[in-house]
Amino acid sequence: MDRMEELGFRSETDRQIFREAAAPVELSPFGLHSGMFVPTLERQGTPEQSRKWVPLGKSFKMIGTYAQTELGHGTFIRGLETTATFDPETQEFILDSPTLSSIKYWPGNVAKTVNHCLVMAQLYTQGKCHGTHLFLVQVRNMEDHTIMPGLEIGDIGPKLGFDGVDNGFMRFNKYRIPRMNMLMRYAKVLENGDYIKPKNAKLTYGAMVMIRVFIVMDAFKTLSRAAVIAVRYSAVRRQSELRPGGEEAQVMDYQTQQYKLFPLLATSYAFLLAAEGMSQIYAKISSDIERGNLEDMPQLHALACGLKAFCTWVACEGIEVCRMSCGGHGYSHASGIPKIYANIVGACTYEGENTVMMLQTARYLSKCYIRGQRGESLPELIQYLTTDLNVKSTLGEDCSFESLVAAYSHRAARMVAVACKLQQTNKKKGMAGHDAWNKSTVPFIAATKAHCHLFIVRNFVTILSQKKIDPATHNVLSQLCTLYAVYGIVENMGEFMQDGYFNQDQVSILNRKVLALLEDIRPNAVALVDAFDYPDHLLQSCLGRYDGQVYEALYEYSKSSPLNNTDIHSSYYNYIRPMMQKRSESKNISAKL
C-alpha cells in the first residue's frame, strides 16, 4: 500500500494493475476490500457515512469484505437467514445466526484478513421483516486483531483455486452494532424504529452489479493471458513432420492448432471491447441511479448478468483449450495456465451463479419481447427483438459486417421468440406462471446466450466502424472481428439454420471463410498476442516467455522443484526400502535383479 502511495497511484484502476503486477496470478487478499467493500460504502452509505468510513477504508485503517452468502443460501438472497433486529432501547441492531444454515460461508478474506464486513441480513424492526439490507460490522479488535466477542470466525478450507483469498465462515451470536452502522443511503431505520423504504429494493444489490461488470474485464484478462501463452508456445514448439522428410513443423502451422487458438485470440479482442463497452454503459446508468433516475436499472442488471455469465463461461472453456493446445507442458504449473484457470473458473459461480444470472437476463428479454409484440418502444440494445423473422440472409463471399450482425440479430430474435412462445403455450395449457416459466428456461438460456453473443459481435463491429484506426491495424482487427463472428456461426450453425436463414451456398461460404481467415491471421498471430503487452512477470509462464527460451526455462523451473532438494527422498527410507526388504526376505528374491 505504501509503495502505491509513494508511486502516486490514486485511481483504483491503477492500484488494481499495480496489485496484479506485485502479486501476479495470486488474487490479492485486498481485492474484495478495494473492489467491493470500499465502493459499496461509497455508493450505499449516506454522505455522512461515506465521509466517515471511506477514508478509513482507502487508508486501510479499516479492512473489509462483503459477507452475504451463507451455508444454506448464496443465490437466493431473499432466503438469507442472518437477522439484524433493531433495539430502540439501545439504538442498536442485534445480528444473529439463528440456524446452522445461516452461518455466513464463503465471504472472501473473512477468515484471517479483515477487521470489518459488510453483512447482508434480514432487517427486523417493530416486529416486521423488511428484507435484506447491508450493515457495517466490526469483526476483529482494531488493536490486536482478535475476533470480537459474540462472533465465531474461521477459514472454510482448501478450494480449487483462489489460494490468495482466505474465504471464511462467520457466525453471529446476538452481536450488537450501532443503528448508524446500517447503510442508509436508500433505506433507513429511524431512532424510533420506523422503517423508511427505498425507491427500489434492488438498490441494495448494487455492489453485485458493479462487480459483475468488473468480471467481464476479468474474463478478457484471463482468456487473453492464456492465449498469449498458447500462441507464443505454438510458435516455438516444433513437433512432427508436416512435410514428409522435412523439418519438424511449428505446431502453429497445423490448421487444427490454428482453429483452436485463433478464434480464442479473436474472442480476447472481442471481450476487451465488450468489457469497455459494458463499463461505459455501467458508468452512465449507475450515475443516473445515483441521481435517483432508476429508469435504466433493469437494462443494466440484465446486461451485467448476461455478459458476466456469457464471458466467464466462454473464457473458462477457452483457457482449457489453450492449456490442452500446449500438450504435456500445458498441464504443468510451469505453463502458468492451470493457475489462470483455477482462479477465474470460480467466476462462473461467484457474484451470481451463471445459470441464475442468464435467467435474470432471460426474464428481462421475456418482458421486452411482450412489449415489442405490443408495438411499444424498446431500448436500443433490444430493438432487434422486432426483427422480421421472414427475412433471409444476404450474406455473400465477403461475409460483410452488415450481413454478420444481421445473422446474429436474426438468430437471437428467433430464439427469444421460440422461448417466449413456449412460455406462453405453457400458460395456455393452464400452467401457473412460475411453472410456465420454469418449463421454458432451457430455451431461454440458449436464447440469452445468443443475445449476449449478438451484443459482443455488434459492439466489435461498431467500434471498428467508429474508431479512427490506421488502415493496416484496421485490416487485422477486421480479420479478427470477422473470424469471431464467422467462427461463432460455424460452431452454432444449427441455431442459425433452424429456420433456413442461410441457404446451403451461404453455409459453404462460411465454412470456407473461417479456414481462409486462419491463414490470413497466421502471419500476425504472435504480433497480436504481443500487443497485449503482458510482461513475463505477470504471465509467470515458461511457455509464454517473450524471448521464446521455453526449454531452458522449463529445465530451470524443474530443477527448482522442492523434490530436487535431496537426491534420495525420505520416502525411500521410510517406505520403499522396508517394502523391498520385506519382499526379498519373504520370497528369496535375488537382490541382484
Ligand X SMILES: Cc1cc2nc3c(=O)[nH]c(=O)nc-3n(C[C@H](O)[C@H](O)[C@H](O)COP(=O)(O)OP(=O)(O)OC[C@H]3O[C@@H](n4cnc5c(N)ncnc54)[C@H](O)[C@@H]3O)c2cc1C
Where does this chain touch ligand LCIBMYWK (CB under 6 A) — which range of 250-258, 349-357, 377-385, 511-519?
349-357
Distance between CA 184 and CA 401 in Å, rounded?
A: 48
Distance CA 371, CA 380 (A): 13
Identify the burial level of 188 via C-beta atoms within 10 angstroms of its C-beta, where 0-12 means exposed, 13-18 middle and 19 or more buried: middle
Residue 351 annotated among the catalytic residues of the structure: yes
Q: Which residues have a Cβ under 8 Å from the Cβ of 581 and sit 6 or more positions away? A: none
The answer to whether 108 is annotated as binding is yes
Identify whether the C-beta of residue 164 lies closer than 8 Å to the C-beta of residue 23.
yes
By CB under 6 A, is residue 130 in contact with ligand LCIBMYWK?
A: no
Q: Which is nearer to ligand X, 195 or 350 (CB)?
A: 350
Please answer whether residues 262 and 518 qualify as being in contact, where contact means their C-beta atoms are separated by less than 8 angstroms. Answer: yes
Segment interacting with ligand X, rule: CB under 6 A, options 42-50, 308-316, 354-362, 421-429: 354-362
Q: What are phi and psi of 141, to 5 degrees?
A: -65, 130
Encoded amino acid at 314, one letter = V
What is the x/- site pattern for ligand LCIBMYWK, positions 361-400, by CB under 6 A? Answer: --x-------------------------------------
Q: Which stretch binds ligand LCIBMYWK (CB under 6 A): 81-89, 214-222, 255-263, 581-589?
A: 214-222
Is there a binding annotation on residue 13? no
Q: One symbol per residue from 6 to 45: x for binding ligand X (CB under 6 A), - otherwise; what is it?
A: --------------------------x-------------
List the grid coordinates of 367: 418482458
Which cell numbers hold the place of 46? 449516506
**Residue corresponding to grid cell 439504538:** 91
Q: Which of the listed partners (ligand LCIBMYWK, ligand X, none) does 355 bind, with a CB threshold of 5 to 8 Å by partner kind?
A: ligand X
Strand partners, 172: 151
Quick check: 68 binds ligand X (CB under 6 A)?
Answer: yes
The answer to the question of residue 66 lying near ligand LCIBMYWK (CB under 6 A) is yes
Coil, helix or strand for 531? coil
Instruction: By CB under 6 A, name the one of 4, 16, 23, 156 that touches ligand LCIBMYWK.
Output: 16
| CB of residue 301 to ligand LCIBMYWK, shortest distance in Å | 4
DSSP 8-state code for residue 178: E
Strand pairing class (116-125; 64-67):
parallel
Nearest approach, Cβ of residue 200 and ligand LCIBMYWK (Å): 7
Helices (H), 159-254: 206-236
542 part of the interface to ligand X, by CB under 6 A = no
C-alpha cell at 563: 523434490
Return the number of other C-beta atoms located less than 10 Å from residue 411's C-beta. 26
- Binding residues for FAD, as ranges, are 69, 108
Binding stretches for ligand LCIBMYWK (CB under 6 A): 12, 16, 31-32, 34-35, 39, 66, 68-69, 74-78, 108, 202, 205, 208-209, 211, 214-215, 218, 297-298, 301, 350-352, 356, 360, 363
> Which residues are identified as catalytic?
351
